[in-house]
Amino acid sequence: MLKMLENILGEKYHFHGFSKGARALKFLTYKVPSLLILDIDMPELNGFELLKIIKNDENLKNVPVIFLTSNGDRDHVIGAFKTGANDYVVKPVKEEILMEKVLKLMNDKSNKDMFF
Amino acid sequence: MSHEIRTPINAVLGMNEMILRECKDEQLLSYAANIQSSGKTLLFLINDILDLSKIESGKMEIIPVEYELFDLLLDLWNVIYMRANEKNLKINFLIDETLPKTLYGDDVRVKQIVTNLLTNAVKYTPEGEVELKVNYQKDQDNTILLIISVKDTGIGIKQEDMGRLFEDFRRLDEGKNRKIEGTGLGMNITLSLLKLMGGDINVESEYQKGSVFTVKIPQKVVNNEPCGSFEKARNMQRQGKLGSQESFEAPQANILVVDDNAMNLTVFKSLLKRTKVNVVTASSGKECLELVKKSPYHIIFMDHMMPEMDGIETLHEIKKLTDFPNDGVPIIVLTANALSGARESYLAEGFTDFLTKPIDGDKLEKMIVYYLPKEIVHKKENDDSQTEESSSNKSEYDKYSEYGISIEQGLSYSKGNLDVYLDLIDMFLNDDNQQDKLEKFIFEENMNDYGIQVHALKGNARTLGANELADIAFEHEKQSKAGNIDYVDQHWGELVEKWNTAREGFEQFCIDNGRIEADESETVDMDREIFEISPEDFEAAASLIDDFETEKALEMLNQWLKNNLRQDERKRIKSAVMALEKEFDEEKAIEILRGN
């Protein structure tokens, strides 16, 4: 999954991928990315937990977040929006849709980007 | 009668297999997965019932033949070793070395009885070991009483349940054991067969501790020569030296083999290398059809499961052809479907014969000799030029088990030929494409193609003895066929990790056997100065990752790899790169670089 995202986005943006939530959180204390793509299922710290932490953090709460969800699961989507996600993408991810959403949220803020 | 019952079930299972492969609707796929598992259970049940009804109607015949005791025991070992391995149970065969070498009796039924006892022991033993002990008592002049006992450290049988052990469809402690597969007919069949052969059975068991089943079967002695060490026989089998004393050459023979899996084609060719048979390969049904129209072959081997046009469809297309050079040529199906009754259904489709995968070299050779015209087969004594492996290799191979690899098993599939085995490992290590493909299928949620691809991975891993990887791939195969994308997505990391571990193990094995990767830049050039990387350098790379400067770290690691490195250091750096690039696991990469 990460490899595919890197292939899609890596050319245009600076991409940093993590397979574990806890490691990603550590990264966020170093750097504030321009955009975050979050999957729900991750070992150690899942997407919801991480999203909550980000939205309660002064430095990070304005980072736009796109949520990845399987089969358009309504509960997940609603939960993600309630927690503060800006948008969501249903797997399987269509490249054009993802790019459109990323472009919209990035709004030419900068050329930095990160995902996991 | 049996054929009439088995054929429709096999047809149901076969059609259902098509649904599993071609349907995209998740709900339908999950129904089909249920049909498959229930269908297989039904088939097992029917096979048992057919046996029992034969016994009850007095139609079960005991057919005594002359047989080699070790052939029977080796078959038993092969059957039970895999099953026990899957459950991490230890298997121990204690065979009296003075047992007579050749006996006269119904070896098929003796095997059925002992297989039943052994599989029961494995089924009901969650941990520990299963032991098979064989010795004998002299009975009359040329008769012995074969005493075979199977001991396990399993769940045991309650005293009050002992009497019900041999009842039909009986499974003791039903509540607790409801998840255990089988029909509950096995013990009854065992008892009936024993009666027919004039033998008996004795059971000792302690609840929660384990059981010992002992059977005594009278058998006639043909050759009184002692059988010798079973351990030695097993090692010989491992090296392909048993049962193939007599080999053959057939340089005029042309054989076509059709399989979409490149590794299977290589295995096939390698197994036949020393017979000098010409092997032509085709990687799809379509290619096969083109080839059979052009040149004549003596035998065609055809894989069943292939994308686009499967083996059965291809066979039917071949049968439709007229005026082509392969009319009436034997077509043998290659399949992983070893269920009893599967053979009949393949033959009913029109195949000439049936060979199970992973392909056993001896069986393949025997089959080829059988179907080739006698005048082009030259029998020859087995030369001993093949690599002689000492039995001490077993313990030497033990160290690869930490990578989830059984070298012993992998070698046995390559007929004990180390060169063939190393060639296959090379292919496995150099196939970078497969992982990208799988990842792409997950991304596209294309569970159909993912299932096919992961099925191939499972087969390759199993052939090489990478059992842990094969097990995980098998689970992925089942789940993807049931359309369970969530499972596949969540457990992808686990598969990649086992895959990398297996790769590391095989790389180590290649190094240990003097087979260093083919790429020149990968080898250590002893004439050139070795590029030293200090612990401080490793620490610097780890710190870069720790500071999230992953790209810089990767640049540094890749730069190092261009140098003349010591093998262990190259391995360590490659593992770290893999953890970063493929697994996105920075912590793992840091650990590797810091040598933790």
Q: What is the DSSP string of B138-159?
A: E-STTEEEEEEEEEE-S----G
Gap from A88 CA to chain B (nearest CA, Å): 16
What is the rounded CA–CA span in Å between residue B115 and residue B109? 10
- Bridge-based pairing state of the strands B129-138 and B143-152: antiparallel
pLDDT of res. B434: 84
Extended beta strands in B200-250, E state = 200-206, 210-226, 246-249
Cβ-defined contact of A30 to B493 (cutoff 8 Å): no
Task: Give tens-digit pLDDT for A74-109.
Answer: 777 888 888 888 888 877 677 788 888 888 887 655
Cis peptide before B330, with omega less than 30 degrees from 0? no
Q: Which among B260, B255, B291, B292 is positioned nearest to B271, based on CA atoms?
A: B255
Residues in Cβ contact with B359 at an 8 Å cutoff, skipping those fewer than 6 apart: B264, B267, B268, B271, B334, B413
**Can you identify the CATH homologous superfamily of domain A2-115?**
Response regulator (3.40.50.2300)
Q: For position A83, what pLDDT does the model report?
A: 83
Considering only CB atoms, A17 lies closest to which of B442, B547, B584, namely B584
Instruction: Give residue B96's pLDDT.
Output: 94
Do residue B486 and residue A92 have CB atoms under 8 angstroms apart? no
Q: Are B307 and B452 in contact (CB under 8 A)?
A: yes
Give the up-direction half-sphere exposure of residue B87: CA atoms within 13 A in the CB hemisphere.
19
- Chain B contact for A94 (CB, 8 A cutoff): no
Amino acid B388: pLDDT:
40
Phi and psi based region of residue B584 (left: phi greater than 0; alpha: psi -120 to 50; beta: remaining): left
Task: Say how far apart CA B258 and CA B312 lie, in whole Å.
Answer: 12
Contacts of A27 in chain B (CB under 8 A): 548
Question: H-type helices in A18-107, by residue range?
Answer: 21-30, 47-55, 74-83, 95-106
User: What kind of fold does domain B65-228 have according to CATH?
Assistant: Heat Shock Protein 90 (3.30.565)
Residue B536 tokens, joined = 């401080």
Residues of B within an 8 Å Cβ radius of A: 436, 439-440, 442-446, 485-486, 489-490, 492-493, 547-548, 550, 582-587
Which site among A20, A25, A26 would you substitute to test the B interface, given the most B Cβ atoms closer than 10 Å to its Cβ? A20
By C-alpha distance, the chain B residue nearest A42 is B490
- Is residue A116 within 8 angstroms of chain B, CB to CB? yes
Tokens of B65: 């033949």
> Is there a contact between B493 and A3 if contact means CB atoms under 8 Å apart?
no
Q: CA dist B534 to A48, B467, B569, Å?
A: 42, 36, 10
Name the minimum distance, in Å, from the CA of A86 to any CA of chain B: 22
What residues does each domain of chain A span? 2-115
Which residue in B has a C-alpha nearest to residue A19's C-alpha?
B584
Q: Please, which residues have CB within 8 angstroms of residue B427's CB and are 6 or more apart in sequence?
A: B262, B263, B266
What is the model's pLDDT at position B176?
Answer: 55
Q: Give the single-character DSSP code of B411.
A: H
Q: Are A4 and B550 a contacting pair at CB < 8 A?
A: no
CB B69 within 8 A of CB B161: no
pLDDT along chain B (596 residues), means of 10: 62 69 72 77 76 78 86 85 82 93 90 90 91 91 92 87 67 54 71 91 90 94 89 70 58 93 80 87 94 94 87 94 91 76 79 82 84 85 44 67 88 77 85 83 86 87 91 91 86 90 90 64 63 89 90 91 83 88 86 86
Reduced to 3 states (helix: H, G, I; strand: E, B; else coil), residue A19 is coil
Measured between CB atoms, which of A20, A30, A93 is closest to B443? Answer: A93
Q: Which residues, 6 or more positions from B133, have their beta carbon under 8 angstroms from its beta carbon?
A: B94, B95, B148, B149, B150, B151
- Give the pLDDT score at B472: 93
A62 touches chain B (CB under 8 A): no
| B363-369 contacts at long range (C-beta below 8 A, 24 or more positions apart) | B364/B268, B364/B271, B364/B272, B365/B244, B365/B247, B365/B248, B365/B271, B365/B272, B365/B275, B367/B332, B368/B250, B368/B253, B368/B255, B368/B272, B368/B275, B368/B277, B368/B299, B369/B248
Distance, in Å, from the CA atom of B431 to the CA atom of B438, rounded to the nearest integer, reads: 12
Q: A-chain residues within 8 Å CB-CB of B25?
A: none
Domain B246-381 CATH (choose: 3.40.50.2300, 3.40.50.720, 3.30.30.10, 2.40.420.20):
3.40.50.2300
Cα(B237)–Cα(B81) distance, rounded to whole angstroms?
Answer: 14
Rounded to whole angstroms, what are the CA distances from B507 to B224, B267, B551?
47, 19, 26
What pLDDT score was predicted for residue A113? 53
Q: Give bridge partners of residue B353 from the DSSP assignment.
A: B332
Candidates 1.10.3470, 3.40.109, 1.20.120, 3.90.220; CATH matching B387-514: 1.20.120
CB pair distance less than 8 Å for A116 and B584: yes
